[in-house]
Amino acid sequence: MICNSSISKKAFMTRLLFGLLCALGWSLLASQPDSAKASTDKPNVLFIIVDDLTTTLGCYGNAHVRTPGMEALAARGVRFDRAYTQFALCNPSRCSFLTGCYPEKTGVMDLSTSLRQALPDVVTLPQHFKNNGYVTGRIGKVFHVPDPKTKLDVELGATLHKDNEILAEAKAANDPEDKPRTNAKGESYNRTYAASSRPAADFTDYQIADDAIATLDQFKAKPFFLAVGFIRPHTPFVAPKSFFDAIDKTRLTLPPFYRDGGEDLAQIPKASLRPNNNVFRYGAPTRDEACDATQAYLASTSFVDSQVARVLAKLDELNLVENTIVVLTGDHGYQLGEHGLWAKQTLFEGANHVPLLIAAPGVNPGARSGLVEQVDIFPTLCDLAGLPKPKHLQGRSLKPMLDDPAVKGRQVAISTMIAPHTKQTGRSLRTDAFRYIAWEGGEELLYDLRTDAVELHNLARQPAHAERLTRMRERLAAHLKAVTTH
């Protein structure tokens, strides 16, 4: 009896002590601010990259295109109005923002070089999240040249030949009077656009969206980093016919090159006027063909928007929106007839200006007019996710701009290019008001974007701008010194 009574008292005291400790623990937890409790929850990351996407979107003021998916993302996130690529070509651009380094550091300035040649041990953006406990994946086109050191949990490519086959079929089904043009050598006119009678599900980007949706289902219970790379509006500009029909071609406005009197290109260096082998290989398009190509680009943009919307809808369905950082950008912009150019790989505004949308937990929606660069995406995601920033990063975090609309952007945005036809290296410095372009060999261009947004009047030879040119040269030299030694 005494022994049993003693055990009961000990048990009672043990339970009482345990209860007091639990109450104290819950009291301490409850007294913490919400931000301290939330800090233990890792936010997810959905990084959407759209190939050759310029700022011809509804959320950037284009009245002709239909992009409700991206507009909805912009409405709940932050739209950066002046974001710029570091190199208007797929491989160099992607290597830059996926490492957080400028092209001069990555050593990648063409379509075939691996970033591992110059940076064999650099930690890429997806690698960094995997190393910090995230389940990771890449769907579609993320890296241009596959990186064997970025090994993720899910890696799904895309059948890129499929849309080329759809294009050939659609062109063959055109009105018989729509004859392909030929040049003096009898080579077929390269018109890489057409409306297709195929359903949306037959296209590459639909498959990419399907794979992204399935991966979100797979990842939903874990902190994840998922990069999704869509293909359109990269050539061929091909999409279901309904997306073409939604764009009134008669209301499209062409750039000055196609207006009465055209544009005098005599003052533009040869290096700046790359051949149009992406769309019009054997001859400059007529006004009607330029309208057709513009409609096709916008239709392809509308189509990829519909696939982006499907992925974002899945995020919502899984109740992941509130704890997911979503970033959407193009790998670079695209010339749509400006200076007669239908291509990327230039140093003008069209090819280097990119959309950048960021929606993140705790970030209020809005727009930012300050200059930013794609090299800033890596450090921004580190800050938003609460991860340490690797020492090799050369960009700067955009989190201060996300947190406070009054925070200003960069003084300059800098882009690099190697002209595919002359092999000259050129660089562009974009300030709030001016664009300065310097080509290897000494050719210079200067545009006042406040009065000349389409870059028609080169001021580089005017004595009134001599001091400005000197400052631009000094800024460029300082930048090159910093990024090659950092």
Alpha-carbon gap, residue 196 to 279, rounded angstroms: 17
56 with 300: CB under 8 angstroms? no
pLDDT digits (tens, 9 = 90+) for 184-241: 555 555 689 999 999 999 999 999 999 999 999 999 999 999 999 999 999 999 999 9
CA of 454: how far to CAs of 205, 233, 265, 307, 361, in Å?
Answer: 32, 22, 13, 31, 37
Q: Are the beta carbons of 460 and 443 closer than 8 angstroms?
A: no
* pLDDT by position in tens, the chain (length 486): 333 333 344 444 444 444 444 444 444 334 334 333 333 489 999 999 999 999 999 999 999 999 999 999 999 999 999 999 999 999 999 999 999 999 999 999 999 999 999 999 999 999 999 999 999 999 999 999 999 999 999 999 998 889 999 998 998 887 554 555 555 555 555 689 999 999 999 999 999 999 999 999 999 999 999 999 999 999 999 999 999 999 999 999 999 999 888 898 988 999 999 998 888 887 788 899 999 999 999 999 999 999 999 999 999 999 999 999 999 999 999 999 999 999 999 999 999 999 999 999 999 999 999 999 999 999 999 999 999 999 999 999 999 999 999 999 999 999 999 999 999 999 999 999 999 999 999 999 999 999 999 999 999 999 999 999 999 999 999 999 999 866
- Residue 21 within a domain: no
Q: Nearest 5 degrees, angle CA 387-CA 144-CA 228?
A: 55
pLDDT for res 11:
45
What pLDDT does 280 receive?
A: 87
Determine the angle formed by the axes of helices 287-317 and 204-219, rounding to 10 degrees.
Answer: 20
* 470 lies in some domain: no
Q: Residue 356's domain spans which residues?
A: 41-409
What's the structural domain count of the chain? 1
Q: Is residue 87 part of a domain?
A: yes
- Tell me whether residue 69 is in a domain: yes
Find the CATH number of the domain harbouring 192. Answer: 3.40.720.10
Q: Is 173 within the bounds of a domain? A: yes
Give the SS3 label for residue 483.
helix
Answer whether residue 362 is part of any domain.
yes
CA distances from 448 to 353, 387, 395, 433, 439 (A): 16, 40, 26, 6, 18
Alpha carbon distance 66, 242 (integer Å): 11
Sheet holding 154-156, edge to edge: 154-156, 135-140, 224-230, 44-50, 324-330, 353-359, 78-84, 366-373
**DSSP symbol at 283:** S
Does 131 reside within a domain?
A: yes
Residue 156 lies in a domain: yes
Contacts of 409 (CB under 8 A, 6+ apart): 82, 368, 369, 370, 371, 372, 401
**pTM of the predicted structure, to 2 decimals:** 0.90
